[in-house]
Structure 1
Amino acid sequence: MKRLPALLLVLLAAGCAESADKYPSLALRPIESRSDAVVVTPTPAATPDAALDSQIATQAAKLAQIDQDFAAGAARAESAAKARGALAVGSDQWVAAQGALAELEGLRGDTLGMASDLERMTIDRATAGEPPYPALDALLGKAQAQLNGELARIAAVKAMLGEK
C-alpha cells in the first residue's frame, strides 16, 4: 500500500507524456522557404526588319504630309476665325471659318486613321509574340502627339468662334 501512491504518480506522469509525432514540426515548410521575388525575364531585342522599316518610312512620310497640310489649314482657320464678323452665326465670315474648321477635322481624321493603323501594327506584333519594334513605337508616339496637338488647335479655333 505504501507503494500505491508512488505507482499512481508514475501512472499519472505516464499519461501526461505523449508521443512527439502527434504535433506538427515548427520547422520551415517548403512553401515558407520559397522566394516571393518577382521573376524578371529580359525582353528580347527586335531584329531588324527591312519590310517593316520600309512600311514605317512610308507611314512617317504620310504623317509628315498630314502635319504640313494641317498647319496650313489651321493658319487659314485661325485667320477666318479672327476675321471681322466671324462671330455672327450665319455670316459669310462665319461660314468661311466653319469651312476651314471642317477641313481641319478632316485632316485630324487622317491623323487619327494613321495612329490607328500604327497601333494595329503594334498590336499585331505583340499578338504574334514578337518583341516591340522601337521605330514603330516611336512613330506611334509621334502620331499620338500630333493628334493631341491637332485637337488642341481645333479647340482653340472653336473657342475663337465662341464654340465649345
Structure 2
Amino acid sequence: MMERTREERLAALREARVVLVSACLLGEACRYDGKSKGSSPVIRALEGKEVVPMCPETGAGLGIPRPAVELRGGTGEAVLEGRAQAVVAATGEDRTKEFRYGAELALKAAQRFGATVAVLKERSPSCGTQGTHVDGVVVPGRGVAAALLHSAGIIVISDEEL
C-alpha cells in the first residue's frame, strides 16, 4: 500500500464524507485505563462529516478497564502475519485473537459505512498509526487495527497530526 505524506493524508480527511474514528478521541471512556482521550482538534476536523466511532479492543469484548496490552515481537503488520503477538504487558497473557478480531470489526465498520479515512489514537497497540508499543517501548509502526485498515486502502491519520 502506498505511503502518503502528512499533507496528502490531511487533504484526504478534508475531502472525506465518512470518517472512522477511535471512540476514545470522541470522549468515550473506552481506553484500557477506563478513561477517554477526547480531542478538540479531532472534533474540529470532523465537523460536517459522518463519523463512525469504534474501539477495536472493546468491540472484541475486552472490558473497561482492562490490563494494558503491548505487541510482542513486532508491529501490527507482524501480528496480522502471525509473526508477533498482542499480550498483556504485566503477565504475557495472549490477546492476539481479540486484537485481530477487533481489527476486523473496525475494517468491516469502515467498509459498511463507506469510510475512506480513519483518525486513530497514536501509540495504541490497536490504533497507533506511526508508533506503537512493542516489547515495552514505543517503536515506529502501526498497531493491529491501523495495519489492517491501511492494508485495505483506508487512509489512517494520527490524532497527533491534527
Same structural fold, with TM-score higher than 0.5 when normalized by the shorter chain: no
Which is greater in Rg? Answer: 1
Q: More strand per residue: 1 or 2? A: 2
Bigger share in helix: 1
TM-score of the pair, normalised by structure 2: 0.28
